[in-house]
Amino acid sequence: IDGSPRFHLFVAGSCPLASSVTASRTLLGLEKLISMDVSDGCSGAGWVFLNGATCSPWKERDGPFWLYEAYQSANPLCTSDISVPILWDTETHKIVSDDSWEIMKILSDAASDLGSCSCPKDVLHVISKQGKHNNIPTLFPDNMKHDIEQMFTNTVKPLLDAVGTGFEYLRNGRIETQLVLEGRMKMFAMLEELEESLGHRRYLFTNLTGVDVRLGFCLLQFDACYWDVFQLRSSEGYRGPILTGDIYPNLKAYTRDIYRLMKPAVYFESFRQLYQLGQAIEFTRRTYSCGEASNKTLNGDMAEEL
């Protein structure tokens, strides 16, 4: 009624999964059709938007907005993990999806259904297209969906899983467990495979697709965050950075090309949040440890009095 878009995105610039959704929105020219809020970070209470939410039903409210409120609004008894991104329906006040890969497909389908979109000119030349006249931009062409899924499963998902072992490394107090070491070796092996593959083509397929967007953000954060935060430099199999070295010339050119296209969707200032993860995990661990110790002392004192 007030002219605001019906659908809204809650994302975080530090998360490569949420950032790939942000980039899809930009690449497909959907900024005016889908509004968006970018998180200021994550705390013990989950993702927070310090200036509040800009969509219904919270946009008239002052103060911070916590993402768990979206889950509780949709289902007061919800016990789900609180994650970004979220695609929110401002009319029904329900979550459409909190799966980043699915949301990317939804956005791509929305652009295709419109029949046209305001893709940036430099994107229009390289993005995949479909339709009767092969002129409708899409990140998931109908005739390539199976191949894209296979590429995602075989190439990008192993990298994301390896990043997940990096968070496991931080949660375990920077202890290099077998799971962490195996995750790192898989990551380095996949980088080598991608380096060879991209020596023969510009993108993973002939034109830009959703799997390139997903991979691009993962590679961009490798130099900016992962190699330092997860202390990859001291790992067996580590050869060097992607963007600031000459070890991976093909991956370097590929990442720069992807970044050039999705630059408006990259929030470098949010990357700093990843450097605070280890500190935050350690603080939480100490806090809970102190709480448990206090409870034991309190319970012991009470027992003596009784």
pLDDT, position 196: 96
3-state secondary structure the chain: CCCCCCEEEEECCCCHHHHHHHHHHHHCCCCCCEEEEECCEEECCEEEECCCCCCCCCCCCCCCEECHHHHHHHCCCCCCCCCCCEEEECCCCEEEECCHHHHHHHHHHHHHHHCCCCCCHHHHCCECEECCCCCEECCCCHHHHHHHHHHHHHHHHHHHHHHHHHHHHHHCCCCCCHHHHHHHHHHHHHHHHHHHHCCCCCCCCCCECHHHHHHHHHHHHHHHHHHHHCCHHHCCCCCCCCCCCCCCHHHHHHHHHHHHHHHHHCCHHHHHHHHCHHHHHHHHHHHHHHHHHHHHHHHHHHHHHC
Task: Give the model confidence (pLDDT) of 69-122 as tens digits.
Answer: 999 998 888 888 889 999 999 999 999 999 999 999 999 999 888 765 678 889
Task: Give the model confidence (pLDDT) of 124-140 as tens digits.
Answer: 999 999 988 888 899 99
pLDDT, position 127: 95
> pTM of the entire structure?
0.88
pLDDT, position 117: 62
